[in-house]
Amino acid sequence: MKGICILGATGSIGVSTLDVVQRHADQYQVVALTANTNINTLFEQCIEFKPDYAVVVNAEKGAEFKAKIVNTAIADMHVLIGAEALVTVATLESVDSVMAAIVGAAGLLSALAAAEAGKTVLLANKESLVMSGDIFMQAVKDSGAVLLPIDSEHNAIFQCMPANYTPGHDAPSARRILLTASGGPFRTTPLEELATVTVDQAVAHPKWDMGRKISVDSATMMNKGLELIEACLLFNMQPEQIQVVIHPQSIIHSMVDYVDGSVLAQMGNPDMRIPIAHAMAWPERFDSGVAPLDIFAVKHMDFEPADLQRFPCLRLAMEAISAGGIMPTVLNAANEIAVEAFLNEQIRFTDIPVIIEQSMAEFSATQADTLAHILEADQQARDQAQQVINSLTA
Write each residue from 137 to 156 as x if it is in contact with Mg ion (CB under 5 A), else as -, in one continuous string: --------------xxx---
- For residue 91, the minimal CB distance to Mg ion (Å) is 27
CB closer to ligand NAD out of 102 and 326: 102
- For residue 168, the minimal CB distance to ligand NAD (Å) is 19
- For residue 101, the minimal CB distance to Mg ion (Å) is 13
250 closest CA partner among 297, 301, 187:
301
* 28-35/120-123 β-pairing: unpaired
The answer for residues whose C-beta is within 8 angstroms of residue 198's C-beta and 6 or more apart is none
Residue 351 found at the interface with Mg ion (CB under 5 A) = no
**Tell me, what DSSP letter sits at residue 223?**
H
Of residues 127 through 146, those in contact with ligand NAD by CB under 6 A are 127
Residue 12 found at the interface with ligand NAD (CB under 6 A) = yes
- For residue 215, the minimal CB distance to ligand NAD (Å) is 8
203 closest CA partner among 186, 190, 228:
186
Crossing angle for the helix pair 222-235 and 126-143, nearest 10 degrees?
10
The number of residues that bind ligand NAD (CB under 6 A) is 26
19 closest CA partner among 292, 208, 287:
287
The number of residues that bind Mg ion (CB under 5 A) is 3
Tell me which stretch binds ligand NAD (CB under 6 A): 65-73, 124-132, 320-328, 335-343.
Answer: 124-132
- By CB under 6 A, name the one of 160, 272, 314, 374 that touches ligand NAD: 272
Residue 57 found at the interface with ligand NAD (CB under 6 A) = yes
CB closer to ligand NAD out of 309 and 344: 344
Angstrom distance (rounded) from CA 183 to CA 93: 42
With 0-12 / 13-18 / 19 or more C-beta atoms within 10 angstroms meaning exposed / middle / buried, residue 391 is: exposed
- By CB under 6 A, name the one of 3, 8, 62, 353 that touches ligand NAD: 8
Residue 336 found at the interface with Mg ion (CB under 5 A) = no
CB closer to ligand NAD out of 52 and 227: 227
Query: How many CB atoms sit inside 10 A of residue 87's CB?
Result: 18
Q: Could you tell me the sign of the dihedral formed by the alpha carbons of 161, 162, 165, 169, in that order?
A: negative
Rg (CA), the chain: 20
* 174-181/242-246 β-pairing: parallel
Tell me which stretch binds ligand NAD (CB under 6 A): 60-68, 119-127, 310-318, 347-355.
Answer: 119-127
Q: Which amino acid is at 335?
A: N
φ and ψ of 332, to 5 deg: -65, -45
Contact residues for Mg ion (CB under 5 A)? Answer: 151-153
Contact residues for ligand NAD (CB under 6 A)? Answer: 8-14, 35-36, 38, 57, 101-103, 106, 124-127, 151, 208, 210-211, 213-214, 272
